[in-house]
Amino acid sequence: MTIDISQFVQAFLDESFEGLDLMEVELLREQALDSEQVNAIFRAAHSIKGSAGTFGFAAVSEFTHGAETLLDEVRDGKREMTAEIRGLMLEAVDRIREMLLAARAGGAHHAAGGPATAARIETMLASAHGCPDDKSQPAQRTAVATEPAAPIPTDASTDAPDTRPWEIVFVPEPALLRSGNDPMRIFSWLGELGDLTVECVTRTLPPLGALAPEDCQLQWRLALPGTVDEAAIREAFEWVEDQCSLTLGRVGDAAAAQPDEVPATAPAHTPAPQSAGTAERPVGSNGAPVERRADAASIRVATEKVDTLVNMVGELVITQAMINTIGHSADELDARAVDHLRQGLALLERNTRELQEAVLSVRMLPINFVFSRFPRVVRDLSTQLGKRVNLKIIGEDTELDKGLIEKLVDPLTHLVRNAIDHGIESPERRRAAGKPETGTLVLRAGHEGGNILIEITDDGAGLNRERILEKARSQGMPVPEQPSDRDIWQLIFAPGFSTAETVTDVSGRGVGMDVVRRNIEAVNGRLDIDSKPGEGTRLTVRLPLTLAILDGMSVRVGEEVYILPLTAILESLKPTPDQLHSVSGRGRVVRLRGDYIPLVPLHHVFNVPATYERPEDGIVVVVESSEDRAALFVDELIAQHQVVIKSLETNYRKVPGVSGATIMGDGRVAMILDVDSLTRLQDTVH
């Protein structure tokens, strides 16, 4: 009987990534490593090498063999774990990770800088023990250059929509990897849009001796079905559009350049000395170093199965709500029967809540799955910029939905890079300002009510109010006459806005903060800024605990019912006529404790008949978004309850002012309102 081992490949990849994370955590320690820590690093490399050979990833196994040999010599006391060896092992971790990401995406199991890193490892091995024996010699390696595919002939009619396949030429700048971006994540995103073909072009690579391990020197040619939306393709490259040359066209178009026709990339980057700036080992909330819990008991469950369970729990919540509705309206039953029914409903409600929490906990992961990558980002970027940064991590065990974790990686990476680049000053400037030469960057996570709170705080120069205003006016952006700090900080989220004096491979092109906010708002989150000149900046990200269940308030407008997220509601009131005013340029407003809040009648937004036309006859709900506040005019507040979120875009399309839908206890469909979108729509509904 033969055994198909391909079914275990995903488990191998998951365990290998965990092993690489463990190696990186230990290698980034500032203090000397003890024997157990060295053994842990060696065991992780040994396990990856052996398992890679078993599952047919020969290139991974071969490359890891050299790193394992070097670690074995450190473990046996034949050599010290010097800063040079640590740096080389971190480089090896990066190369192995690149190989495994390529393997997971179905590509060739090679890394661009793999041969150069392997050569340096072999040189180091030979430096203390002479020429290694045949077993230590690396196997012959050859770079695989994939020829661009020939254009696919098409017979498209001029009258029919153009459905010729998309052809994408992606040429990253050398600094793309150093900025924390990863082409594999882009390819994974594109793969969700349709059947993706990836071709790696290596013919433009420099000679082996000129390769720089930290540079991205590969180019790619990609193909997607012609039915894929062009905007969705371009969105996948938003994070790197300022760090690459990108050509997008239909197969057969003359404008589609071949990868090797693109001008050669910049000269190889020479890494700065490690002493130029270092990131200290992050400290957890208990004062101990932050590590992944590699020995914690865990279970791997397919995401599809967990999603099914979550949907089942959602249906159970809906059923419970329906029974509850019947029970409270069953006047024809005798009092004793009604009493028993209500007792049973109370028990059902309690059990439903417990089952809901238990099932949702399966999707909950510690946020350290995101935070654990930042020690490396801080170390590399501070070295590149010549700064000294001490990274502290607090609340790393805070759990949130797996779906949120996956969507947080890029926004948080950008915010951390911005804090180091724009916020924390150089050692010389900090010394002149009377500050310690080493800046402090704090990542903090915790719960606040039904939300997850993530803070990125630095003790740098803070935001410059006048400089932001001057830049905004020079770009023709609308600026209030007497703007508050909050109004000014919101200007940095405008597309294309940047106060950087020079454009670098880290920042300066005005791309990023608008994408950060858009991605956070896409998961019903908010991003707030608080900054003091000379003292630093705090960025606060508020996120829902899960993407599956929402605590909301149901409101009625005519015959329609809508759900408002509780986290966005500040207060509700029945306004008096003297609180309602008309203001030139802002339409109708509600005066509340000296503030004038724009009035947004929901029946105008959604074009539905309302019971009341005058706000003083109905109810006003004051809500707050990341940008502004608004007073939503509704007919009635109904109740506060949990609702199961259903995607409206998956089943219909995107609707302005609506973030999703749910099924109420009486079987009716209710729209879940998008407060951020409603506050932006307020100028169009007066």
pLDDT at position 504 is 52
End position of a domain, from candidates 237, 262, 287? 262
In sequence order, the 6+-apart residues with CB closer than 8 A to the CB of 532 are: 462
pLDDT at position 205 is 78
Q: Is 540 helix (H, G, I), strand (E, B) or coil?
A: strand
Per-residue pLDDT averaged across 116-131, rounded? 77
pLDDT, one tens digit per residue, over 638-658 is: 988 888 888 777 777 778 888
Least confident of 64-78, 314-328, 345-359, 387-401: 314-328
In sequence order, the 6+-apart residues with CB closer than 8 A to the CB of 402 are: 303, 306, 363, 364, 365
Greater model confidence, 450 or 577: 577
pLDDT at position 178 is 72
Q: Is residue 157 part of a domain?
A: no
Asked whether residue 466 falls in the same domain as residue 564, the answer is no
Q: Is residue 294 part of a domain?
A: no
Residue 371 has pLDDT above 50, yes or no: yes
pLDDT at position 185 is 82
For 325-438, where are the E strands, in sequence order?
A: 364-366, 389-394, 399-401
Residue 150 has pLDDT above 50, yes or no: no
> Would you say 669 and 658 are in contact if contact means Cβ atoms under 8 Å apart?
no
Greater model confidence, 373 or 332: 373
What is the domain-level CATH number for residue 638?
2.40.50.180
For 257-350, where are the E strands, in sequence order?
A: 279-280
pLDDT at position 448 is 74
End position of a domain, from candidates 491, 519, 544? 544
Asked whether residue 524 falls in the same domain as residue 387, the answer is yes
pLDDT at position 130 is 40
Asked whether residue 357 falls in the same domain as residue 380, the answer is no
Q: Is residue 20 part of a domain?
A: yes
> Would you say 120 and 114 are in contact if contact means Cβ atoms under 8 Å apart?
no
Q: Is 426 helix (H, G, I), strand (E, B) or coil?
A: coil
Residue 333 has pLDDT above 90, yes or no: no
Asked whether residue 393 falls in the same domain as residue 537, the answer is yes
Q: Helices in 55-154 by DSSP H: which ranges?
A: 58-75, 83-104, 114-129
Q: Is 501 helix (H, G, I), strand (E, B) or coil?
A: coil
Residue 249 CA from chain centroid, whole number: 28
Asked whether residue 501 falls in the same domain as residue 584, the answer is no
pLDDT band at 387, cuts 50/70/90? very high
Asked whether residue 382 falls in the same domain as residue 518, the answer is yes
pLDDT, one tens digit per residue, over 278-332 is: 444 444 444 444 464 433 445 566 667 777 777 777 777 777 776 676 666 555 5
Q: Which domain holds residue 48?
A: 1-141
Q: What is the mean pLDDT of the chain?
A: 78
Residue 591 CA from chain centroid, whole number: 39
Tell me which residue of 469, 527, 460, 522 sits closest to 497, measured CA to CA: 469
* Amino acid making up residue 333: L
> Would you say 264 and 206 are in contact if contact means Cβ atoms under 8 Å apart?
no
pLDDT at position 562 is 94
Asked whether residue 430 falls in the same domain as residue 527, the answer is yes
The DSSP bridge partners found for residue 199 are 221
Percent share of the chain, pLDDT over 90: 18
In sequence order, the 6+-apart residues with CB closer than 8 A to the CB of 5 are: 54, 55
**Region for 587 from its dihedrals, namely left if φ exceeds 0, alpha if ψ lies in -120 to 50, beta otherwise:** left
Domain count, the chain: 5
- The sign one gets for the Cα dihedral 223, 227, 230, 232 is negative
Per-residue pLDDT averaged across 54-76, rounded? 86
Q: Is residue 450 part of a domain?
A: yes
> Would you say 673 and 561 are in contact if contact means Cβ atoms under 8 Å apart?
no
Asked whether residue 89 falls in the same domain as residue 119, the answer is yes
Per-residue pLDDT averaged across 431-448, rounded? 92
pLDDT at position 506 is 55
Asked whether residue 238 falls in the same domain as residue 127, the answer is no
pLDDT at position 330 is 54
Q: Is residue 272 part of a domain?
A: no
What is the domain-level CATH number for residue 81?
1.20.120.160
What are φ and ψ of residue 390, in 5° steps? -105, 115
pLDDT band at 9, cuts 50/70/90? confident
Query: What is d(CA 576, CA 35) in angstroms, rounded to the nearest whole number?
Result: 74
Query: What is d(CA 312, CA 309) in angstroms, rounded to the nearest whole number?
Result: 5
Asked whether residue 540 falls in the same domain as residue 619, the answer is no
Residue 208 has pLDDT above 80, yes or no: no
pLDDT at position 133 is 43
Q: Is residue 324 part of a domain?
A: yes
Residue 621 has pLDDT above 90, yes or no: yes
Residue 348 vs residues 193, 228, 355, 667: alpha-carbon distances, Å: 41, 45, 10, 19
Query: What is d(CA 233, CA 246) in angstroms, rounded to the nearest whole number?
Result: 11
Residue 17 has pLDDT above 50, yes or no: yes
End position of a domain, from candidates 74, 108, 141? 141
Asked whether residue 376 falls in the same domain as residue 519, the answer is yes
pLDDT at position 619 is 94
Query: What is d(CA 68, CA 297) in angstroms, rounded to the nearest whole number?
Result: 26
Q: Is residue 295 part of a domain?
A: no
pLDDT band at 437, cuts 50/70/90? very high
Asked whether residue 584 falls in the same domain as residue 530, the answer is no
Query: What is d(CA 373, CA 200) in angstroms, rounded to the nearest whole number?
Result: 26
Per-residue pLDDT averaged across 19-26, rounded? 88
Per-residue pLDDT averaged across 473-487, rounded? 79
Per-residue pLDDT averaged across 601-624, rounded? 92
Residue 510 has pLDDT above 50, yes or no: no
* Residue 58: count of CB within 10 angstroms of its CB: 12
pLDDT at position 523 is 79
The CA-based angle 241-245-249, given to 5 degrees, is 95
Residue 442 has pLDDT above 90, yes or no: yes
What is the domain-level CATH number for residue 403?
3.30.565.10
pLDDT at position 195 is 87
pLDDT band at 257, cuts 50/70/90? very low
Joined tokens for residue 39: 């053994």
Joined tokens for residue 118: 């392997």
Residue 267 has pLDDT above 50, yes or no: no
Q: Is residue 154 part of a domain?
A: no
* Amino acid making up residue 397: D
Least confident of 90-94, 123-127, 150-154, 223-227: 150-154
